[in-house]
Structure formats: C-alpha cells, structure tokens
Amino acid sequence: MQLIDGKSLANKVQASVATQVEELKREKNIVPGLAVILIGDDPASHAYVKMKAKACEKVGFYSITHNMPDTISQDEIIATIEMMNNNPRIDGILVQLPLPKHVDTDKILEVIDPKKDVDGFHAYNMGRLVTNLDSFVACTPLGVMKMFEEYNIDLEGKDVCVVGASNIVGKPMASLLLNANATVTITHIFTKDLKAHTSQADIIVVGVGVPGLIKEDMVKEGAIVIDIGINRMEDGSLVGDVDFKNVSSKCSYITPVPGGVGPMTIAMLLSNTVKAAKGRI
C-alpha cells in the first residue's frame, strides 16, 4: 500500500504557480488577481477562505475577500460579481459555497464571467468539460487528476466507481475520468447496492460526507481509493468517507484524510487563476 501524499504534491504545484507569477510580473507586468465572496458566519467557510488568502499571498497574487452578512440580497451579490467581472485586476472570481437559503446558487454562479470562473462551476465551463474542450475545471476533481498523473496511475480502460454525483465533485470527476478513457460508474444516494459497484472497481473515488462509508468488504484487493470526504468528528478529529484503518491494507494506493485531496483543491485554484491571468495576454 502506498499513500498518495497530497500535501507534498500541493506544495509542488504552488511552487510552479509562484514561478509562473514571477514570469508574468517580469515579462507582462501582470499580477494575477483572485476575488472571493464570503457570505455569513459559517466557521468552515471562513477557515477555508483564510487558507485561500494565505496561499494567494504565498504565491504572489493580488487577492481580495468581500465579506457579506447572510441577510444580504441576491441583487447585491450579483452587483458585486458584475463589478468584479469588469475589474481588469481580477482574473478569478470565487463564490464560497454554501450560500444562504434565500439565494439562488445557480443564478449566482451563472453571473460570473466564464473566463473568470476559476472554480469551474459555470454551466459554460461544465459543458466544455463534458465535451472534452479546454475549460476551467472544478478544483477538487482537477486535483485528483493531478494525483493520478503524479503517481503514474494509468486510467485508460480502468473500471472506476465515483461515489457521489454532485455538480461540484462527482459529475466533473466522472467527466474527467471519461475523457481519460476510463470506464465510469456513478453512484449516489439512490443507488440500490453500493457494494455491488465499489467491489468491482479498480479505482474508487468517494466524496459524499459520510464518515466511514466505504468499508473493507466493499473494496477489492489492490484497488486504488481516493477519499475526497472530510468530516469533523465530535472529538475534533478529521476523517474521510473511507474506513481508512481497515481499507488501506487492501489498497495499492490510497489518500489519507487529512493530507490527501484537501491540499490539492487550493493548489488547483491557484493554478486555474494563473491560467485565467494568462488569458489577459
């Protein structure tokens, strides 16, 4: 069993981004800019945005966070996004999810200029991904693909089970895998027999937010397991969606939680933002 070290790979990606930023500054006088909209007081969202801001500073980005109360109107959010769409210093716009219940998330995401949609959630970029055209891709699935590349894991012809069908993770993950010529099964909350699908898979990718969902008897010998889930337990510890202790001994590769996929999400956000900045040229 080999651990896939997301933390080390994320540092490697961030170092590459920092080098590209220096080149953009030196050769084109461009400083990549990322703007974040943060609504409400959700502690997890605030912690995540703080990590993003720190990462931006580390690689030399210009970054700004718009903190808004959870009582803010949808029209005010849209006006802020449109202002950033028209700001030449901003290359990437990120709306931290989830949004308050009175806000239409789909409507908000569609207001973002697709060329600044570094989270890859706009319908334009999702459509281009499905048709295997160049696009901005959701950061977590993109980070998983970077892991496969780093560890020389060939996806062609592999049976892959994606557990979870969200627009943020499951659907873009499945599209990326299909584009890499894997045979993909997508399972979700209405799947009748999850074990029947996971136990046949060469690779399992799970991200549903259910601690220990994937048990030892659901994984075949030598499988590769990518655990995107992150769950905080009552004792404060972080665990994934996989019963790591019992599953890991059966795997050829597995991601830990924490230290696996998580760091890659922010690294790929930085990578997407540099890509957007290069679009100015």
State the pairing for strand pair 253-254/231-232. unpaired
User: Do 223 and 202 form a contact (C-beta atoms < 8 A)?
Assistant: yes
* Catalytic residue of the set 5, 52, 202, 243: 52
Catalytic residue among 91, 96, 116, 146: 96
Count CB neighbours of 82 within 10 A: 13
Annotated catalytic, 119? Answer: yes
Put residue 87 in one of left, alpha, beta given phi > 0 → left and psi -120 to 50 → alpha: beta
Catalytic residue among 5, 91, 117, 119: 119
CA distance 74 to 89: 24
**N-to-C CA span, the chain:** 45
C-alpha to C-alpha distance for 192 and 214, rounded to whole angstroms: 15
Give yes or no: 96 in active site.
yes
Which residues carry out catalysis? 52, 96, 119
